[in-house]
Amino acid sequence: MKQAMLWEPKGDDKVRCYLCNHHCLIKPSKKGICGVRENRDGVLHTLVYGKAIAKHVDPIEKKPLYHFFPGSFSYSIATVGCNFRCLFCQNADISQMPRDHERIIGGDFSAHEVVEEAKRTHCKTIAYTYTEPTIFFEYAYDTSLLASEAGLKNLFITNGYMTKDALEAIHPHLHAANVDLKAFNDEYYKRTCGARLQPVLDSIKIMRKLDIWVEITTLLIPSLNDSKEELKDLAQFILDVGPEVPWHISRFYPTYRLTDIPPTPVQSIHKAREIGLSVGLRYVYSGNVPGDEGENTFCYHCGHLLIQRLGYTIANNEIIDSKCPKCGTTIDGVAMSS
């Protein structure tokens, strides 16, 4: 157990947490919405520091990050807990464990050990992922400092609900993020995730201002967030942030507490991708559709096939010095060349 960051005491031994935009007011002996930050005698503590529930070597394309060291591997860690309660969570067994089972588990795995394992396995990055990295912020923060010293880059795979204070605290050591922009509908966020839309939009804008490379993922769920109007508004928001921001449109499969909706038709993914490209986004990708043309990276200027993918595997990368070999256009991203 470790004293938490980003909180302040209130009267009667209560504390206010400023790590995420829930801004939980936590009474003594109680936990915040995330289930892993507890008020003990008027002091906020994190209960998951150094308690890794998952640690794996993943292709960076699995995050998904297609424009940040493509073809490389990322050492990926998580603890239990989440500040959302998405009905469709794909990792609910660990993200919702503190809420659903009132348990907090994980093996001792120090920040130093994370970095050493990343180096041993020849990973270029460390990804804080699977659950929500914001809720194990202190663990991620300490690891990110050591990772930077070792020449590794740090990635957040996140719902984007952290506060500006949290982003400003970690940003010198946070190099990229994939943000789940789950919909462009506040009611959807409230009903299916237990959160609000605007803080996520604000975080995306703040990340870009802090020069953090950002990619965005939207899980397309039939009848819930797939209307043409909503997708066009979402794509327009991304365009306003920057046409270079990649948008991953991912296929939904029934899971957790949302099992009465069928998988997303592949044609719906294609239509959403067409919307993104039509508004002027440079890179729009199909997710969870292995072998689909939309997995590939094309030059937005001349249309030349640059990176050919099959699932998480890169079959070919023709980018040279971050440029299209056919027309010389600069391809946005970090370390894009093969």
Quick one: what percent of the chain has pLDDT higher than 90?
99
**pLDDT above 80 for 45:** yes
The tokens of 315 are what? 């079959």
At residue 255, the pLDDT reads 96
pLDDT digits (tens, 9 = 90+) for 147-188: 999 999 999 999 999 999 999 999 999 999 999 999 999 999
DSSP 209: H
**pLDDT above 90 for 73:** yes
pLDDT digits (tens, 9 = 90+) for 211-225: 999 999 999 999 999
The SS3 call for residue 96 is coil
pLDDT digits (tens, 9 = 90+) for 272-318: 999 999 999 999 999 999 999 999 999 999 999 999 999 999 999 99
DSSP 42: T
At residue 232, the pLDDT reads 98
Q: Confidence band (pLDDT; 50, 70, 90) for 264?
A: very high
* Cα 117 from Cα 120, distance rounded (Å): 5
**pLDDT above 80 for 116:** yes
Q: What's the chain's average pLDDT?
A: 97
At residue 204, the pLDDT reads 98
At residue 1, the pLDDT reads 82
Contacts of 199-205 with C-beta under 8 Å, sequence gap 24+, read 199/21, 199/160, 199/161, 200/159, 200/160, 200/161, 201/237, 202/164, 203/160, 203/161, 203/162, 203/164, 203/167, 203/179, 204/160, 204/179, 204/241, 205/241
Q: Confidence band (pLDDT; 50, 70, 90) for 338?
A: confident
Is 296 in contact with 308 (CB distance < 8 Å)?
Answer: yes
* Cα 173 from Cα 147, distance rounded (Å): 8
* Domains of the chain: residue spans and CATH: 2-46 (no CATH), 52-295 (3.20.20.70), 303-338 (no CATH)
pLDDT digits (tens, 9 = 90+) for 230-239: 999 999 999 9
Bridge partners (DSSP) of residue 59 are 73
